[in-house]
Structure 1
């Protein structure tokens, strides 16, 4: 599948699985899962297109799972703005995590910290390169911030790690943010 088509399909899949399942006449279960056959019909795509989009997504945004009865289901790894329970268990984070954003957002972040906005969590990366790639989604100059995750954990903040390796937390107060190297 050509890259631009895969990007468009990935965005439609994210919309259906993370933000607006009703727009596609889909109903996510409590954990955010939907039957693969229902998903294919709703998005009017083939299984080959789905498999290509899941396998080719550099951020591994989607998970396909085979159930004991042979049925398959799909969900987004994280980033939902609709209510779902991902079943994540709190984990000890690495000492530092990173957040990529635009330079235009920096003043607001320095004033109030990182907040989840309409999503369930703030998304953090385990390395600077990934954070930089995430930050490129925003217009303008990319800025990478270092999060003192060890200090946050000592202060009682909880961290979760999604299936695709993204670290999640409810918010990052300003005192735990620093400019990345």
Structure 2
């Protein structure tokens, strides 16, 4: 399978495992897991033939590490970004003092007025470094990086969790904890 095929498979898995498992006829359990054989059979029936080796390679080599296999390698799930209800069963964790959120210039005023909200997603996604936040923000135009005072949020009772690929999750970031970083 080529790199192009892996990207296509990763995008298809993102759609199915984060947003529309029913589009191929699978059901996620309460924590977002689906049995690998069930997923592969459902994808094949929908016209997307993905081998177990292809799936394992995409899980292992995806630059964003969006997916994970369970310890027995029998089930797969998306690590974050769900718009379908799931409980990722991640422990509440003390965040680093500062986290970052990458976005594009067109929404900064609204974010500064209303804060970061999860919208249709499971949680707000935050990065531990400016580089990652900048890359995330650049997906939709000129990137803007917001600094999140995670220490103050945590002290004020806001809960944080971190996924296996280092994405920090919280339910919302009120505006008082946000500041725009100067452009590089």
Work out which of the residue numbers 51, 60, 71 in structure 2 matches 1:55.
60
Distance 1:100 1:26 in 2: 32
Shift of 1:20: 0.3
1:46 maps to: 51
What is the number of residues matched between the two proteins?
177
Shift of 1:5: 2.3
Distance 1:175 1:28 in 2: 36
1:101 maps to: 103
SS of 1:137's equivalent in the other structure is helix
Map Cα deviations across residues 51-81 of structure 1 (whole Å, 9 max, x no partner).
22112211111011243xxx60000111111
Q: CA RMSD in A?
A: 1.3
1:159 maps to: 160
SS of 1:25's equivalent in the other structure is coil
In terms of mean alpha carbon deviation, does 2-11 or 100-109 score higher?
2-11
Distance 1:52 1:58 in 2: 11
1:141 maps to: 142
Distance 1:75 1:38 in 2: 12
SS of 2:8's equivalent in the other structure is helix
Give the direction of change, closer, same or farther, for the CA distance of 1:136–1:42 in structure 2 (3 Å limit): farther
Work out which of the residue numbers 115, 118, 121 in structure 2 matches 1:116.
118
TM-score between both structures, scaled by the size of structure 2: 0.91
What residue ranges of structure 1 are gaps of 5+ in the alignment?
none
SS of 1:164's equivalent in the other structure is coil
2:19 maps to: 19
SS of 1:86's equivalent in the other structure is coil
SS of 2:95's equivalent in the other structure is coil
Distance 2:71 2:177 in 1: 40
TM-score between both structures, scaled by the size of structure 1: 0.93
SS of 1:17's equivalent in the other structure is helix
Distance 1:34 1:152 in 2: 34
Distance 2:93 2:181 in 1: 23
